[in-house]
Chains A and B, each alone.
Chain A
Amino acid sequence: AQRVTQPEKLLSVFKGAPVELKCNYSYSGSPELFWYVQYSRQRLQLLLRHISRESIKGFTADLNKGETSFHLKKPFAQEEDSAMYYCAPRLPSGNTPLVFGKGTRLSVIA
C-alpha cells in the first residue's frame, strides 16, 4: 500500500515565486517526517526534519496531522533550488528505515 504520496512528478516555477512541494502520508500514529534533496551531480542529502522545526535554505515544512501532510514550502524560489526532492516518512515505531516517496523534480525558471 502506498504510504507516502508526492502527487507532482515535476513542478516548474519562476524565480522569486513561492513554491510548495506536496507530501501526504497514510501512516497511523505519529510518524517522523523528513525531506531529502538531490541536486544535479550531487548526492542525496537530508534537507530538513519535522521534529527540528527548522528552516534550511529558506525551506520550511509543517506537519499537519489532520491532513496527514508534510508539504515543503519556500516563499521565494531561487534557481539553485532546482533539484529532486523526496519526502521520507519513518514508521511510528521508529526503528525502521525511511520510506521514500517517488520524488518531485523542481525546476526554477529564471
Chain B
Amino acid sequence: NAGVTQTPKFQVLKTGQSMTLQCAQDMNHNSMYWYRQDPGMGLRLIYYSASEGTTDKGEVPNGYNVSRLNKREFSLRLESAAPSQTSVYFCASSHNTAGDGTQYFGPGTRLLVL
C-alpha cells in the first residue's frame, strides 16, 4: 500500500496563478485533511472532509477551496495564488475524525509563490 500520496512534490507559481494539489489514499479511510506547515506556526488545518461528500473549514481556509472527489481523493485548489501561500502542504487521512487519533500523512508539497 502506498498510504497517502501527494502530487506534485514541488511547485513554483507566479502571483495570481491557480493550481490544484492532489491527494489520494488507499487505506479506505473516511476522513481526509489538508494542512499547511510554516516555520514558527506549526501545522494549521486548512480544510477537512469527515466523510465522502462533506467538507468543512479549518483554521485557515481563506484563499483555498477543496473537493472530495471520491473516498480516495481530496484535492486542494488555489484559485489565485499569493506569496503568503508559500508553504509546505500536507494531506492526511484517518479512519474517522472520531477514531483513535491516528492520522496518516503524505510526503508534502512544497509550494513557492513568487
Binding site for B on A (CB under 8 A): 6, 9, 32, 34, 36, 43-46, 49, 86, 88, 90, 94-103
Contact = CB atoms under 8 A, between A and B. Distances in A.
Contacts of B41: 102
Given A86-B42, A103-B43, A96 B97 contact: yes
B105 A43 contact: yes
A43 B102 contact: no
A93 B49 CA distance: 17
Contact of B102 (A6, A46, A86, A103): A46
A34 to B, nearest CB: 5
Q: Which residue, B41, B97, B107, has most C-beta atoms of chain A within 10 A?
A: B97
Interface footprint category on B = 20 to 34
Interface in B65-114: 90, 92, 97-98, 100-108
Contacts of A46: 101-103
Contact of B42 (A45, A90, A95, A103): A103
Interface of B: 4, 31, 33, 35, 40-45, 48, 50, 58-59, 90, 92, 97-98, 100-108
27 contacts: A6-B42, A32-B101, A43-B107, A43-B108, A44-B92, A44-B105, A45-B105, A46-B103, A49-B102, A86-B43, A88-B101, A94-B98, A95-B50, A95-B97, A96-B97, A97-B31, A97-B33, A98-B101, A98-B103, A99-B59, A100-B35, A100-B42, A100-B43, A100-B44, A102-B40, A102-B41, A102-B42
